[in-house]
Structure 1
Amino acid sequence: MPSSLQPSADADVIVVGAGPGGSAAAYHMASHGLDVLLLEKTEFPREKVCGDGLTPKAVRQLLRMGVDTSPEAGWMHNKGLRVVAGDIKLTLDWPTLDSYPAYGLTRTRLDFDDLLAQRAVVGGARLRTGVNVTAPVFDRAGRVCGVTAQVGPDKEPTTFRAPLVVAADGVSGRMALALGINKRDDRPLGVAVRRYYFSGEKHDDDYLESWLQLRSANDPDTLLPGYGWIFGLGDGRVNVGLGVLNSSSAFGKTNYRQLLVDWLSSTPEEWGMRDETNADGPIRGAGLPMGFNRVPHYSRGLMLVGDSGGMVNPFNGEGIAYAMESGEVAAQFAVDALARTAGPAREAVLRRYPVELSQRFGGYYRLGGVFVKLIGNPTIMKLCTEQGMRSHTLMRFVLKLLANLTDPRGGDAMDRVINGLSKVAPAV
């Protein structure tokens, strides 16, 4: 495919941010012949706050990028989800589907993002690290035609130009804000904190563990706000964390780091998560922008992918799968658009990108918004956990719903119900 480069351009596409969404977009665009410049402000490897757990939805996107997900390549495989609510424990395998692999993964973001960025390079993208993008550049018509940046340790001012820019700059959304694309307050929002611990008991657990009821050893009769997780990393460590949604009365009024410590005080001593000496690093926190909380996802030459467009799943807080999938979708439209002459024909293609995202995720995210409001009510949440978890069939349905794991065509009765609900729900 011929390049669409103009004499003054540095690339066909500039991708801002080499997280999962940006690297996926760069990989798929470059693999289809576009000249892609992938700009990352940090140097790899680097930390990111995340649960480090990947569902089969994310695994599918890794496989589409040609990533080797074998244990020999450093991945910890898991079979499904173990749900814990007080004395009740329910173990659920990932569903067997035509559309997804039947396993999940864990891997720390420390080298996960580096691995994906290198896959983008293998696909043909040009990666530059240490480039802090500060703002978009506009042409006379007010369309984005590049970015300004500070490059290297000396923060040298530099301008990069391209006919299309992809914003994968995360929760801050600096690029989107420059176009007046602000966060919506009517969408779900979460805050998560996590810490690594050395745990001989739990590090090689082949199920992701989700805790629906959190208690402190100092006050075991009182439920703490939020929902926790314990994900084994297979290297002697676990990723332990919790999230609180803005539907909770405790949102914004709680010391989340202390909340994590209080919860871990009630875990079995042999797990090693009560003892500070077993901790590997500090407690870190981050926001979770859910349910398309920043729209539109395309405007005036700028495409949003991943967290920059608020694409975290409201049901389970999963962001990586949606970041990578939106990156692939953005690539499909970018390739089609840049094959056309600049002007109305190209713009018509790019404007279909947010329509496609809405069709894929909009109705499902709307259901997720309702779910967030319901579980914010302690009475409803108590009823769901104490009664719902006694039915294995119901919880299998809930797992499919929360993880968004259904076959789009055919499938079983559960798939058809979930798909039907997502279609009839008004898109966000």
Structure 2
Amino acid sequence: MSTTNVDSRVDAADVIVVGAGPGGSATAAYLAMAGLDVLLLEKTYFPREKVCGDGLTPRAVRELINLGIPTPEDDGWIRNKGLRIIGAGMRLQLDWPENSAFPPYGLVRTRMDFDDILAQHAVKNGARLIQGCNVSGPITDARGAIVGVTAKSVDENGRATGETHEYRAPLVIAADGNSSRLSLAMGREKRDDRPMGVAVRTYYTSPRTNDDYLESWLELWAKDPSGKDVLLPGYGWIFGVGDGTSNVGLGILNTSKAFGNVDYKDVMRRWVATMPEEWTYNDETMTQPIRGAALPMGFNRQPHYADGLLLVGDSGGMVNPFNGEGIAYAMESGRTAAEVVAHAFARADVASRERVLQSYNTRMKQDLGGYYTLGRHFATIIGNPEVMRLATKYGLPRTTLMKFLLKIMANLAEPGGKGASDRIINALSKIAPDA
């Protein structure tokens, strides 16, 4: 099937997926592989920009492998060996852990390319991608269950064309991001007892564009007007993109008192101003404005399935509270969702199909619920700057401890692994209550 713009002739399917980010496109691809007729609705046009660090951990790379997407280096996929951690005047370089569950490398790819690649992969496998399709609301039946969506056509500049459309399916999947207007319209509000983050980032032309490691800054220092060093809120990153630029950004959790009370773009500029001049991170080398996005964490919108609407990725608050990673979990939830949906559609009666769809809630809690509960507590702890300062000062010199923290923060423990760190992480995730 080919990519199309909004077309009123395409008005029904087995499944509608709203949003063609990593979660939506992965879901659509898997569903199409399973033989279902899938409509993938995207409000913008590819290629398009998304605010992101562009770094993919081995957990995300595993999902690309599962999906069947090749990542050759000569096609712009930049490999990295691990994570470099900066803090307390120290610099620690850790390789990604080697185990049978995850590849021993990460990747960097800009979202401008990445999302387009995934969407076209879904099309290649049979999904029908409709671009310029801004979903405006749900269509519900007498029971209040969703049975389709209404949409407005938009042009490539995001302006409404005046055309409206209806698309109908017995199941709708919301992959429409943090705001998830579709979820809100169906009465699924965000939970206030879950962590939330804000991230800002930009790109600079820099000789650091080629880097074998993702770089994480646990402390952000700047100078006050008198020249005194001051500690800024949040954590930062520098990822070499391999195209002549670096992706530089920072994030702040709502467990910090500074959340919502500082100018994040100003924090970014003050932090970057302290970096070595030869890195060329300055206003003259900035290739894009500093842009921000919310990071919905720890299953902050539930249930993940009810009344014909299933949530994947950011719409279900599936960002990892430990490290702010969202792409891996968007694709992972899409894979799980597609498996559940395919089994549901194989059932002959509506009641049986509904029981299978309800199992998606259980699957997500089993897979990530305990781990995300640990992440919630972690986010609360590091929101205290004094705790973070002490942890950085006394933790970074202990390489064994930091290797353990890297494994738990990136969620790279081997299921059933016999190593001590694997056993500890798996046990903690298992005994923690579901998120």
Correspondence for 1:295 = 302
Structure 2 CA distance for partners of 1:68 and 1:155, relative to 1, 3 Å:
farther
Return the offset for 1:143.
Answer: 1.2
1:235 aligns with 2:227: no
- Residue correspondence of structure 1 range 219-368 to structure 2 within 5 A: 219-273=227-281, 275-368=282-375
Return the offset for 1:9.
Answer: 6.8
Structure 2 CA distance for partners of 1:125 and 1:90, relative to 1, 3 Å:
same
Correspondence for 2:4 = none
CA distance, structure 1, for counterparts of residue 353 and residue 162 of structure 2:
34
Correspondence for 1:206 = 212
CA distance, structure 2, for counterparts of residue 188 and residue 267 of structure 1:
30
Task: Give TM-score, length-normalised by structure 2.
Answer: 0.95
CA distance, structure 2, for counterparts of residue 23 and residue 305 of structure 1:
11
* CA shift digits 1:115-140 (9 cap, x unpaired): 00001011110111000011111112
* CA shift digits 1:338-367 (9 cap, x unpaired): 112342111100000011000111000000
Task: Please say if residues 148 and 166 of structure 2, whose CA atoms lie closer than 8 Å, have aligned partners that are also in contact.
Answer: yes
Correspondence for 2:203 = 196
CA distance, structure 1, for counterparts of residue 169 and residue 346 of structure 2:
14
CA distance, structure 2, for counterparts of residue 58 and residue 411 of structure 1:
23
Return the offset for 1:220.
Answer: 4.9
Correspondence for 1:112 = 114
CA distance, structure 2, for counterparts of residue 139 and residue 280 of structure 1:
48
CA distance, structure 1, for counterparts of residue 298 and residue 356 of structure 2:
24
* CA shift digits 1:132-172 (9 cap, x unpaired): 01111111222111110012431411000011110000011
Task: Please say if residues 9 and 163 of structure 1, whose CA atoms lie closer than 8 Å, have aligned partners that are also in contact.
Answer: no
* CA shift digits 1:38-61 (9 cap, x unpaired): 000000000000000000000000
CA distance, structure 2, for counterparts of residue 243 and residue 12 of structure 1:
39
CA distance, structure 2, for counterparts of residue 417 and residue 235 of structure 1:
40
Aligned residue among 215, 219, 222 for 2:221: 215
The farther-off stretch of 213-222 and 397-406 is 213-222
- What is the SS of the residue equivalent to 1:252? coil
CA distance, structure 1, for counterparts of residue 148 and residue 345 of structure 2:
15
Amino acid of the residue matched to residue 21 of structure 2?
A: G
Aligned residue among 35, 38, 54 for 2:37: 35
How many percent identity over aligned positions?
58
- Residue correspondence of structure 1 range 82-121 to structure 2 within 5 A: 82-121=84-123
Return the offset for 1:369.
Answer: 0.5
Return the offset for 1:86.
Answer: 3.4
- Residue correspondence of structure 1 range 14-33 to structure 2 within 5 A: 14-33=16-35
Correspondence for 1:157 = 164
Structure 2 CA distance for partners of 1:176 and 1:342, relative to 1, 3 Å:
farther
* CA shift digits 1:288-310 (9 cap, x unpaired): 00000000000111000000000
Amino acid of the residue matched to residue 234 of structure 1?
A: G
CA distance, structure 1, for counterparts of residue 86 and residue 11 of structure 2:
54
1:77 aligns with 2:79: yes
* CA shift digits 1:173-211 (9 cap, x unpaired): 1111111110011100000000000001x1101100000
Amino acid of the residue matched to residue 217 of structure 1?
A: K
Number of matched pairs? 419
Task: Please say if residues 80 and 103 of structure 1, whose CA atoms lie closer than 8 Å, have aligned partners that are also in contact.
Answer: yes
The farther-off stretch of 337-346 and 362-371 is 337-346
Aligned residue among 147, 162, 168 for 2:175: 168
CA distance, structure 2, for counterparts of residue 342 and residue 220 of structure 1:
70
- What is the SS of the residue equivalent to 2:287? strand
The farther-off stretch of 152-161 and 95-104 is 152-161
Task: Please say if residues 11 and 166 of structure 2, whose CA atoms lie closer than 8 Å, have aligned partners that are also in contact.
Answer: no
CA distance, structure 2, for counterparts of residue 220 and residue 107 of structure 1:
37
Correspondence for 2:6 = none
CA distance, structure 2, for counterparts of residue 303 and residue 110 of structure 1:
26
- What is the SS of the residue equivalent to 2:209? coil
Aligned residue among 43, 46, 49 for 2:48: 46
CA distance, structure 2, for counterparts of residue 305 and residue 85 of structure 1:
34
Return the offset for 1:221.
Answer: 2.6
CA distance, structure 1, for counterparts of residue 41 and residue 287 of structure 2:
30
- What is the SS of the residue equivalent to 1:99? coil
Runs of 4+ in structure 1 off by over 2 angstroms are 217-221
Correspondence for 1:57 = 59
Return the offset for 1:380.
Answer: 1.2
Task: Please say if residues 41 and 133 of structure 1, whose CA atoms lie closer than 8 Å, have aligned partners that are also in contact.
Answer: yes
CA RMSD, Structure 1 to Structure 2 (Å) = 1.1
CA distance, structure 1, for counterparts of residue 287 and residue 75 of structure 2:
23
Amino acid of the residue matched to residue 181 of structure 1?
A: R
Correspondence for 1:388 = 395
Task: Please say if residues 13 and 169 of structure 2, whose CA atoms lie closer than 8 Å, have aligned partners that are also in contact.
Answer: yes
